[in-house]
Amino acid sequence: MSVQALIPAYNAGQSLSNLLPQVKKHLPNILVVDDGSIDDTSVVAREAGATVIRLERNRGKGNALRTGFKAALKSGCTAVLTLDADGQHDPEKIPEFLKLASPKALIIGCREARLEKMPFPRILSNQITSSMLSMLTGSKLRDSQSGYRLIGREILTKVELETDHFETESELLLKAARLGYRPQFLPIPTRYDGERSFMRPTMDTARFIRLLWRSFWW
C-alpha cells in the first residue's frame, strides 16, 4: 500500500522543521506544496527530505491541495494523507490512518481538543459547517474542517475539485458523498499553541455559503 503525505504550506518554515522529521518516521514519502511563501519553507522542506512543489504566488490552501493531489496521483500512490503545516496534527497518529488505507478510504481525524483550548472562532465555524454538511451529505460529520485526512486514490480520481481556499475540504466531502463515499472518523489529539491562522472569517464564510449554493446544481 503506497501512501503519500501531503502538506500544503505557507510561510511555515519554522513549524516544518519540527513537523517533517516526525512525519518521516512513519511515512517517508512526503510532498510539501509551498503556496508562494516568502520565508524558507521550501528550503526547510527539501533539507528534511521532502519533495517540494513551489507555487510562485499564494493562491490558497485549496489550490495547494489540488496541486498536491494531482502530483500524488501521477506518482501512482494508493492514498494521500494530508496534514496541516502548523504542527497541530500529531504525527504519532499516522500508523492508525495507515491501517485504514485503501483506494476507497475517506478517513477524517476528529479532533478531541478541550473546548477551552480551541480558539472560539474555530469552535463556532466548525460546529456550523459540520451541521450543514451533515444535512447535505446524509452523514454525521463531527469535524468537517479537520485537515488531517486520508483520501483514497479512487476518490481523488473521481472527484473534480474546483475551489482554491479553505472551502476545498468541504467541497471534497460534498462531492465524495454524491458519489456514495462515506467517511470514517479517527479520534486525534490537537495542539493549539497560538499558531497563526490564515483563515479570513468573513471571506471564508462567504465562500463556504457559495459552495453550498453551487452544490445544488452539481
* pLDDT tens figures, 14-56: 999 999 999 999 999 999 999 999 999 999 999 999 999 999 9
pTM exceeds 0.85 = yes
Mean pLDDT of the chain: 89
The pLDDT assigned to 198 comes to 57
Instruction: Judge contact between 177 and 136, C-beta under 8 A.
Output: yes
Residues 6+ apart with CB under 8 A from 38: 11
The pLDDT assigned to 196 comes to 56
* pLDDT tens figures, 131-182: 778 787 888 777 888 999 999 999 999 999 999 998 999 999 999 999 999 9
Question: pLDDT band for position 111 (50/70/90)?
Answer: confident
For residue 6, pLDDT beyond 60:
yes
* pLDDT tens figures, 50-99: 999 999 999 999 999 999 999 999 999 999 999 999 999 999 999 999 99
DSSP 21: H
What does the block give as the cell for 26?
A: 512513519
- Compute CA 37 distance to the chain's CA centroid, rounded to the nearest angstrom: 18
Question: pLDDT band for position 217 (50/70/90)?
Answer: confident
The pLDDT assigned to 200 comes to 59
The pLDDT assigned to 78 comes to 98
CA–CA distance from 59 to each of 5, 64, 72, 93, 138 (Å)?
21, 7, 19, 29, 31
Q: Is 22 helix (H, G, I), strand (E, B) or coil?
A: helix
The pLDDT assigned to 192 comes to 65
Report all structural domains of the chain as residue ranges with CATH numbers, in order of start.
3-215 (3.90.550.10)
